[in-house]
A and B are shown apart, each in its own frame.
Chain A
Amino acid sequence: MRKMTLRTRILMNLANLACIAFLILPLVPVILGAFQSERGLQADVHALLPVEYTLDNFRLILSGGSDKGTLFQDISYLPNSVTWFPNAFLNSVIVGALVTVGVLVLASLTAFTVTRLNVRWTGWLMQINMISRMVPLIVLMVPLFVVLRGFGLLNSLSGVIITEIGLLLPYAIIILVPYFQQLPKELEESARLDGCTRFTAFIRILLPLCKPALAASGVIMFIISWHELLIPLIIVSKPEVMTVPVVLAGLVSDHFVFFTVMMAICLVGLLPTLLLVLLLQKYLVKGLTAGAVKG
């Protein structure tokens, strides 16, 4: 391969920096906003750095409104969403975790069935799987609402979890099927001769080998579930079962917008996904590039 010239290298690095800046820059005002007062933010919207720094926004949301600090002690009205934030955060963690686990269990079983069991109808299953993702979610909302009401799942985390699993399952299947396809079938056959049934061969041999793909799709599923607003917004109306995006949306009304509180919620809301990505980093790149080159 021809060596890159210095000029090309500089241009490549600049392009790289531009891409990173494009992704990171929107975060900067959020970080700056989260650590200042509403008054400070509104005083000079063109200022690059805040005049004063405060942790009161975080104190307020993490205490559910009970610790108002100096910034909010005189405020006469706090939206309900702030009060319910710690609970919503916990709900989001529960929903995100269970949706991710549920989707991965069902998607890996489906991928195994589609790629290994040579069942004729699985081809159709994959087609339906693809088509189902072309239907906009909003179109499904009214029928979904009616079905969930029928099963008594409105205003419950189980309703949100089941719906999100249904929404995300096709994506996970699309990610996992090619990964299962590239695993040599001899591995499973060898396990079957060693004393495994098809299912134990799946659990003990194939699944551990799919760790990178499971990690990659797991992170993607968690992020999508964590950000999902429409489903909980329609299914849930009680504050005790709200998730973080719903709380966030509740901070915007015709009469007020709590910018700095919203930014603090956004930053705290970033933590679980960030932590997950850092934990699974070593599998992520492997999983996302699997099958790209012959191993």
Chain B
Amino acid sequence: MAHVQIQNLKKSYGAVQVIHDIDVGIDEGEFVALVGPSGCGKSTLLRMIAGLEDVTGGTIRLNDRVINDVAPKDRDIAMVFQSYALYPHMTVEENMGFALKLARVPQAEIKARVAEAAATLNLTEYLDRHPRQLSGGQRQRVAMGRSIVRSPSVFLFDEPLSNLDAKLRVRMRTEIKALHQRLGATSVYVTHDQIEAMTMADKIVVMRAGRIEQVGAPLELYDDPANVFVATFIGSPAINLLSGRYVERDGAGAVDLGHGVVMEAPQVGAEPGQPCLFGIRPEHLEIAESADAADFTVEVIEPTGSETIITGRIAGQEVQMSQRERTDLKPGDVLRLRPAPGQVRLFDAETEARLK
């Protein structure tokens, strides 16, 4: 196991800088997810850790040793690729033992370690097959097995579940997490799927346009987003963001959403009248008949089984709420909604930074 320290990391392709001064630390045994939209630089960052991309500036340290110029083969890092990258001309056993063979590990030991990893991943009966004879999920497991047999310092995963169907993806997610809990290996996992990141990671690094937006534990990011980007990226359905103006009422904070709707909000260091975004997650809207509730006109009802997502309007702005209970609401119904206490997050309308 190892820890990774990334400091002031930069990457440019010619005049175009794609990674800007990234600072992040990955502790021993930690599972870190790099998330962000396509093109945010998360895969580039992972490939730089692997040694597949040159470093333009800054340092990557593995166990306090700078590895910027160390060849990929000498970094003791294993990577699971999105396309699995299994060698088509080798059997599953040969694929899994390839790295050990290159390292001149004795044949008997290779066989034992491959058998052990195969047993862990339920691949024993497929050891003689070629990758083309396996299903997507089995290929995925072989790709992981190939990494496991090496017992590397760090595991890297580059969107490993993207090519699987939705059901298999959920199963493999659980398998990867269980495997990490068992092996306790330092892992860096790239994904654009925030659910994957939330469910698997100890720590999430949210990236946008080559910069880190926020680093934190999954629920920390969910509950305490640093800006609008993180607030909207984490959570499904996404957080509601209503435009309004910050006001103070009876010595407490509130947001005037227009159309005579004023909703309670935390008291923040903003000027009265300052444009802001009123953020509330769908599950934090409650049906209430109190005076501080606002009218919500139902437009669309989407039952998912475990919950119902109801889309409608408050003060003319689109809002989604979710509720666990079954409902017989119809489009056109009007409810009275209010935010659950302490769940409103305010953001600056111009800078999109969190107002505290």
User: Which residues of A pack against B, CB within 8 Å?
Assistant: 184, 186-187, 189-197, 200, 205, 208-209
B89 touches A195 (CB 8 A): no
Q: Does B71 contact A (CB under 8 A)?
A: yes
**B67-95 contacts to A (CB < 8 Å):** 71-73, 75, 77-79, 81-83, 85, 87-89
User: Which residues of B pack against A, CB within 8 Å?
Assistant: 50-52, 71-73, 75, 77-79, 81-83, 85, 87-89, 98-99, 102-103, 146, 150
A193 touches B73 (CB 8 A): yes
Beyond A186-B82, A190-B79, 7 additional pairs, beta carbon < 8 A: A189-B52, A189-B72, A192-B52, A193-B78, A193-B99, A194-B146, A194-B150
A186 touches B103 (CB 8 A): no
A186 touches B85 (CB 8 A): yes
Q: Name the residue in B51, B72, B81, B83 with the highest tally of chain A Cβ atoms < 10 Å from its Cβ.
A: B72
B73 touches A209 (CB 8 A): no
CB pairs A–B below 8 angstroms (25 shown): A184-B83, A184-B85, A186-B82, A186-B85, A187-B85, A187-B87, A190-B81, A190-B85, A192-B71, A192-B73, A193-B50, A193-B52, A193-B72, A193-B73, A193-B78, A193-B79, A194-B99, A194-B146, A194-B150, A195-B103, A196-B73, A197-B73, A205-B87, A208-B89, A209-B89
A209 touches B52 (CB 8 A): no
Q: How far is the CA of A186 from the CA of B81 in the complex (A)?
A: 7
Q: How far is the CA of A184 from the CA of B87 in the complex (A)?
A: 10
Q: How far is the CA of A135 from the CA of B150 in the complex (A)?
A: 53
Q: Which of B71, B78, B85, B88 contacts A197 (CB 8 A)?
A: B71
Shortest Cβ gap from A196 to chain B (Å): 6
Q: How far is the CA of A194 from the CA of B146 in the complex (A)?
A: 9
A190 to B, closest residue via Cβ: B85
Q: How far is the CA of A208 from the CA of B150 in the complex (A)?
A: 24
Q: Which of A184, A187, A196 contacts B102 (CB 8 A)?
A: A196
B81 touches A189 (CB 8 A): yes
Shortest Cβ gap from B149 to chain A (Å): 10
> Using Cβ atoms and an 8 Å threshold, which residues of chain A touch B72?
189, 192-193
Shortest Cβ gap from A29 to chain B (Å): 45
Nearest 3 Cβ contacts at the A-B interface? A195-B102, A186-B85, A194-B99
Q: How far is the CA of A209 from the CA of B87 in the complex (A)?
A: 9
Q: A209-B88, A209-B89 are in contact. Are A195 and B83 (CB under 8 A)?
A: no
Shortest Cβ gap from B114 to chain A (Å): 13
Shortest Cβ gap from A177 to chain B (Å): 20
> Using Cβ atoms and an 8 Å threshold, which residues of chain A touch B98?
191, 194
> Using Cβ atoms and an 8 Å threshold, which residues of chain A touch B103?
195
Shortest Cβ gap from A15 to chain B (Å): 35
